[in-house]
Amino acid sequence: MSQVMPFNPPWFLRNGVAMTVYTAIWAGREWENTTLHPEPPYKEMIFTGAGGVPIFGWVAIPQNAHSTIVGTYGITGSLDNQWFLRLLGRKAFAQRYAVVLFDWRAHGKTAQLSPTLTSDGLYEGEDFVCIAAEAKALGCPAPFWFTGFSLGGQLALWGVKAAQNLGRGVRESQSCAEVPSVERTGVQESGVRENLTPEDIGGAAVICPSLDSIRSLSYLVNDPWGKRLEQGITQELKKLALAIYKAHPGAIELAAIERANSIWGFDQELVIGRLGFPSVESYYEASSGLHLLPQLEKPTLILYAADDPLFDPAIVSDLQAACDRNPAIDLVLTRYGGHVGYISSQEGQLQAGDPDPWWAWNRILEWCGKKGLEIRDQGLGRSFRSE
C-alpha cells in the first residue's frame, strides 16, 4: 500500500541535491545539539553472523524494554562515525526500545574481525536474523524491528526475507553459527539460534533503500554531480578494502583494489567472484531490493523521497506498483527529502507533532510502536481464544 504523506522541509532544502549535501556536511556537525537524549549505555558485542562470520555491534537495553531495534547504516562508514544511525539509537532507547546497532560485513570493526566482503543483502539479511537471535538471548525483547538507510535499508529488507524462512528448513534458517561461543557473546552455549521464532520478528522500517543498483548507478555516473558523488563513494570503498588488506594479509589482492575505480568496478574486482556470480549485472539482479518486495510477508515501512538524487527517478513508479500489490508493505512517498535527509522545518515539526527535525526517524519509531501494539493485541486475542 502506498501513500503520500506531507513532509515540510525548510524552503532552502526543497531540492534533493541541496537536502542531501546539507545532511551529509552540515547536519552531521550539529546533530547532537538537536536532541536532549544521551548516548545509550552500549555494551560492545561480537555476534556470530551467517556462515560463522563475526559481526561487531553495540547493545543497550533500557529498563522495561518493550521491543528491539536492530539497525545498520549505508554503503560506507562505521558505528563510530555514522551519526545518523546513532541518533536513532538515542531516540529509540529514550522510548524504551532495546537497541542493537552493528558494523555490517567489511565495515568498521567487523572488517577487523573478518575479511569477508559485502553481498548487498544476500548474506547480510541472514546476519540480521542471527544478531536478533543472540540479542534475544541477551535479554532484548521481541518484537524485533530491522532498520537501515540507503544500502543498509536494502540489507534490512533482506533481513525480513531471511526471518520469514525461520523454521522452514531453507538456507536462511540454517546459516547462522550453530553455537555462538561464550567468549564472544556471554550467553549460554546452546539454544541461542533455536530460541528465535518467526513471530519474534516484527518486520522492517527503512529510509531511502537502495532498490535497483543497475539503473541507479547508470543514472548516477551520467549526471555531473552524481559522478562526483560516485567517485567519492568509490574512494571510501577503496579505503575499506585497504583496511581489510592490512588487517588480513593475503585476503585481498592489492592490484584488485587499485583497479576498482568505480562502485561497479569494486564489485567486479572484489565481490562477485567470491559470491560465484558471472557478472556484476547478475549480482545486482540477484540482490535487488525491488525484486524482493513481492516476497515480503511481514509488516514493512518504506520511506522514499521522489527527489532522491542518488537513485533513478524511474524507480518510483515501479516501487509504487510493487507496494500496491503487497499489503504487507506501507510505502510513504514524499515529494521532498533527498537521500536520507528528511530534515523538517519548524513548521513541519509542529504539523507532525515532532520534538525535533528528524522526520524520518520519528515516523519509523511511530510506525514500529503502532505495529508493536497490533502484534500484542493479536497475541492477547489468541490467548483469549485458546482459553
pLDDT of 185 > 50? The answer is no
The rounded percent of the chain whose pLDDT value lies above 70 is 89
Can you give the pLDDT at residue 182? 26
What's the pLDDT tens digit per position in 340-361? Answer: 999 999 999 999 999 999 999 9
Can you give the pLDDT at residue 307? 96
291 assigned to active site: no
All three cell numbers of 117, joined, read: 566482503
Q: Under a CB-based contact definition with an 8 Å cutoff, are residues 151 and 93 in contact? A: no
What's the pLDDT tens digit per position in 262-281? Answer: 999 999 999 999 999 999 99
356 assigned to active site: no
pTM, 2 dp = 0.91
SS3 of residue 309 by DSSP: coil
| CB neighbour list of residue 382: distance below 8 Å, 6 or more residues apart | none
pLDDT of 2 > 70? The answer is no
29, with CB counted inside 10 A (0-12, 13-18, 19+), is exposed
Long-range CB contact pairs, 164-171, < 8 A, 24+:
164/198, 164/295, 164/296, 164/297, 164/298, 166/129, 166/196, 166/197, 166/198, 166/201, 167/197, 167/198
Q: Which of 120, 200, 212, 308 is catalytic?
A: 308
308 assigned to active site: yes
Q: Which of 67, 119, 150, 344 is catalytic?
A: 150
The DSSP secondary-structure symbol of 178 reads S
> In CATH, what class is 42-209+338-386?
alpha beta
Q: Which of 103, 210, 307, 339 is catalytic?
A: 339
